[in-house]
Amino acid sequence: MPAKRAYLYYLGILSFVIFAFRRISLLTHTLIWDARDICFPWRYFLGTCVHEHQLPLWNPYLFSGYPFFADPQGGAFYVPAMLLSLPFGYPLAMLGIEFTATVVLAGIGMYKLVRSFEVGPGGALIGALSFSACGFFVSNAEHLTWIVSAGWLVWALWSYRMMLETKLYGYAVLTAIFLWMIFTGGYPAFLFIVAYLFFFSSVAYAAPERWRHMLTLVKANLVIVLCFLALSAQSVFYFVQSSQYISRGAGVTLAKANAGAFTPQCLISFFLPFLTVGDASIWQTDISMANSYIGIVVLLFLLIAVFTLRDRRYIKLPIVAAFFLLVSFGAALPLRGWLFRFVPLMNLFRMPSLFRLYSIIGFIVLACVSLQAFLTEREKYRRHFVIVLLLLLVGFGSLLVFEIAKHGIHYHSFRYFQDPVGYVKSARFSDRAILQGTLQLLVLTVLLSLALYKRGHYLTYSSILALVVVDLLAATELNTFATITNGDMRTAIEAKIEAQPRGFPLPDLSVPLLSNRDANNDALSPLWGNLGVFKKVVSPDGYNPFMLKSCDSLSESIIRDSVWSNPVAYFGYKLAKLENGAPIGKHTVAVDDLNYQKLNGRLSSSAAGDSVWATKFEPGDVHLSTRTSGTSILVLQQTDYPGWHVRIDGEHVDHFKSSYANISVLLPAGRHEIEYEFKPRHFMVLATISFSSLIALLAGLVMFRRRLFHQAVQQQ
């Protein structure tokens, strides 16, 4: 297909996504829950660093400081987020822009993936729209890292499939780049899963060819691995390094691994996704995990695939998709437990519902292949199509009759169109069933009419596409104020953020850390989490799965409030042993037994003239000036982590950890300049490798495009 025509389809995907998610894409509302209160503060900090020309290595504002660059979900090395931050930093509006752009990216990627299965452009466009507005993007809109993962995953699947089909190394390089995007900007679990999927796909492709192309496939996979490791040099190194310092480094328990499943009862979302936005006791999972809708029209073609697909090439697709769907059930079946126990890396993450993304992708591809077969031989399969369609109509009709007979039709059932936010919060199960059931009946009735009128002459790509658009827009609209936004206006929240300090101001060393906790939300409501990055104050808490063990130990200890009653930097004049597990005074420093023996008896009493003030407080670069009349311990309430270096008056000095987490040094009497620098080992070397690899690979793809891709079948 000519490239210009393909761009028209891409434009159609863009237009559909903008309209379907218009409250986010047009920047009137904000994303809900985790996207706004957890992911956005991370992006905001990254944007501030980029705008202020700082490396985003250390976040000093959350959890008394933590290695931002080592957090796999922080996005410190995610290039798209950096590029979005270049002009103005990362304001709240940029969150909606990134979400919209990622969903559009996902739709175009699905278009190309479906086309690679020899489906025409019309069928591929239907698949792209179905994926763009599927239950994953609608219900998991709050999980930005999941959205990023899904956006790049379909591209990785497409490029890997093309590599298997063509045996060309250009697609191997593209695959490595897409996997790198998932690793640096997404949720690591998706990368672990797709790595296994690629391995078994290579085995499956090589086996029928009797090892003829095995060597080529091995080389191509080796290219993927080497390119990925080169691109991710610093990310992989510090991700592995951090595993020994974080609370979840050794993995999660099986009970936690099964939390957030796509429970079997959530299968109803394939038909009526609006039901899952309420009555959590029925679904027994989080609202964001309960939706797998792909469109009732697309689902219909999936159901008739058993009749339309006779090609043995596609036999593996429904099996793999069904396997991932069963794994997503979590504790309802033993599959997730088996993966947890016997498959490496499968014990590092929660939320089995994430497996359903692979099912959704497989089901959409299968439905589009089925659609292609149906329209190619419409008369042959029309009877099967009508029978399945009638069964769906009977099912929805029976549901409506039952709900109306039991609960009746109330004006409340259709109040959504007057007050969508209030309706979503108050609607009963029967209200939601009647509303969406009616819409599904209308769509299916039109589809039946097209199938019966003139023997389905008007059942074409265009008419089916129109029904798919109406169906998906209606389903997305109904769920918008449940899982995408809660109705908060962006401009009102952004104005509160704009009123906060800019850049990296000096901290007020008279304010105790306890005053900076998220609970003291005096000016940023409805924002509630990770507020320190907006206020530019060091907070002892935050919300992030990436929790350092040392910070965790302090937050759970009996000395916590005594330590946090001090400001960011303070003097310690007395010692206590951590092993005692007893409360301590405000200016008492708790240390391990070895440091207690070294320091005991060396400290002076406090004096009225002792003072400390900050002259610089930037991420990973803190300068303090002190004046003391005696020897004391200077405590900086930033978490001690490998990479911190301390100098007093320009001379490097050894520092030690106090109160489980804080960076501390023995400070002699007099006036001194203390510099704290966070400089991770090998960072510049690894960063150079990553950056150089990206430039080299992109340049190579451009310069040697013909050589790398010339044998491929064009599926643009």
Q: Residue 628: what pLDDT? A: 96
- CA 350 to mean position of chain CA atoms: 13
Do the strands 611-618 and 651-653 form a parallel or antiparallel pair, or are they unpaired? unpaired
Burial class (CB in 10 A: 0-12, 13-18, 19+), 98: buried
Return d(Cα 148, Cα 517) in angstroms, integer: 30
SS3 of 469-517: the string is: HHHHHHHHHHHHHHHHCCCCEHHHHHHHHHCCCCCCCCCCCCCCHHHHC
Evaluate whether 632 touches 572 at the Cβ level (below 8 Å). yes
553-678 has which CATH code? 2.60.40
Return d(Cα 54, Cα 44) in angstroms, integer: 13
CA count, 13 A, side-chain hemisphere, 223? 20
Evaluate whether 30 touches 36 at the Cβ level (below 8 Å). yes
Helices 683-703/214-231 angle, 10° precision: 130
Backbone φ and ψ for 30, nearest 5 degrees, come out as -110, 155
Domain boundaries, the chain: 167-236+690-716, 553-678
Evaluate whether 324 touches 358 at the Cβ level (below 8 Å). yes
What's the length of the chain?
716
Report the amino acid identity of residue 210.
R
Q: Which residues pair with 651 in a beta bridge?
A: 648
Backbone φ and ψ for 223, nearest 5 degrees, come out as -60, -45
Return d(Cα 557, Cα 56) in angstroms, integer: 30
370-to-393, 446, 472 alpha-carbon distances in Å: 20, 20, 19
Residues of the chain with pLDDT under 50: 712-716
Q: Tens digits of per-residue pLDDT, 591-650?
A: 999 999 999 999 999 988 999 999 999 999 999 999 999 999 999 999 999 999 999 999
DSSP for residue 636: E
Return d(Cα 10, Cα 12) in angstroms, integer: 5
Q: Tens digits of per-residue pLDDT, 151-200?
A: 999 999 999 999 998 889 999 999 999 999 999 999 999 999 999 999 99
3-state secondary structure of 673: strand
Q: Tens digits of per-residue pLDDT, 85-143?
A: 999 999 999 999 999 999 999 999 999 999 999 999 999 999 999 999 999 999 999 99
Burial class (CB in 10 A: 0-12, 13-18, 19+), 171: buried
User: What percentage of the chain carries pLDDT values higher than 70?
Assistant: 97
Q: Residue 408: what pLDDT? A: 81
Q: Which residues pair with 627 in a beta bridge?
A: 611, 671
Q: Residue 4: what pLDDT? A: 65
Q: Tens digits of per-residue pLDDT, 46-97?
A: 999 999 999 999 999 999 999 999 999 999 999 999 999 999 999 999 999 9
Nearest in space to 534 (alpha carbons), one of 32, 30, 36, 24: 36
Q: Tokens 């310690």, residue?
A: 572
Nearest in space to 660 (alpha carbons), one of 599, 714, 590: 590
Q: Provide the H-helix boundaries in 556-637.
A: 560-564, 593-599
